[in-house]
Structure 1
């Protein structure tokens, strides 16, 4: 859709004003052809297997790396960002081993829900003013938001592969509006990471084989959220008490010193999710899990995967008081939960008690994966 220079300028002023009114902290515009390197980098990521079990990435490479393939009519892409910076360093919770560490972004309402309605309001104003058509995306379609945000000038993809902003550090939610209107693009941001490698060194599981490259299979966020099976043994101790995602690489970024805490209650952490006790979380059945995490992104992984994560944290806690709850979960209907409970129990009770339990477990357990857990060498006990 052809737009005159003056009309485009007025439309951009409207978009900026509406974005500010809707609570967005940054906005910029780019074009659909502004990320020419994205297809090659994405193909390399998939070819190396770094996407793990996230098959949808491999299946949508063409649409994901070329915005005009996703929607041929698009002429401009508006990228909007919302600051969700915490009011403290989330890594402080890692030392409180009887508590569960949930990633900052997941401690309140699902950001998809928070942002999408606001983006639709802005998109509606664009159509009312300029006509044409629009599409709104918040991590709900094969859109590469981070390269587009870099091209638009909102920040740059840091060595941890996430967007870094000079104004907001590493704490930004991203959403996009694709439009048929032609808007003047903003200037691309340059990389300001320099020689810093704080984010790389902060990763507990060495998930970065090189700067700007992430092997998701080693990432705690992938292991605790996307991974549907047991947590691989080599990562269990390293996960510590991180029960949903991991913020270590984001929190280590020096640019965070310029970031302010999220100003809206909708993005601030729920009080009961700031430092939730592992004991309470282990007791969640499916109904209680759904009720407790209603409206939260945590709900999407389901109770069994979540309790699996909590059991790994319990095994790392060194808190023998948790053993009684862990023992109850040895009889859980979910093999995933039973398997994680075995590992946790071995870390919390004396070896002689565990060996007696293992002998009984091998006699009564029918699930192959759970039997393999019982048959493993006894892991070293955790120490508080």
Structure 2
């Protein structure tokens, strides 16, 4: 799994092994801090760059927590039970007087963009819009900058998103003052701004229910593939860094019978955290733990053969109100979710 995650991060950066600077060739290369064949310092051009990496970015940083994420991804970064939580690092290291290396490491696997010279970027680096602007390092729309408390903030730069989610990395090898620790704790406890519930979701929440789960839902289902899921996460404001982690986490769902035909047990098993709901009754609200490790009000309903799972967070945290729709495509359990008209689909194959 870690190999897949790191591989996808590498694809996102178009890293095919180690990338070295090469000699400029015509207009494909940038021999100065301006786009090839142009002059000036317009920050409206995404290939414009400042000539040097800010000195405070040099160093090694470990994943500390995520901020602004909803239920579907927050647990990847914030759960105290997440064994991968502190196993991701980012490092900026000088390779020579004019160049630096950018490295992402997950456990014992790493990918590096080597010898980045902002005054003489390679064609590949120009294509991926590797640049420094206003004190931040960019790979495409993904930004990396140091905040006032010396944390590395990794986020997406978009005028369409007012409060984009971010990953927060803590510098390693540096002393942590009480003020820094307190600020980090305060940041982690902030309540995320809830997105407006779409009309489609509101309609789902008010549909009538049956009180018996159909036989076809019972069994073990493992995630087989996804469609438009990356686009769905993009619509919610997540950058490539987050999307690849979520997309390649493992998921397994289990619907189990109980002695009462009107009740069932539900298990949501992932590579990061498991949740279990016992004696679930259709159309009956109950409180349970979400994947983000906070308390949720949960409601399962059934309408026209489709199962709906609605979550409403009851505690402060990163989770947002969500509704998931389950139906069948042949023998495949299909999960649908939507945001601002963008629908993501995940297909689960029945194993037993």
- Using structure 1 for the length normalisation, give the TM-score: 0.23
More strand by percentage: 2
Structure with more relative contact order (C-alpha pairs < 8 Å, separation 6 or more) = 1
- Using structure 2 for the length normalisation, give the TM-score: 0.25
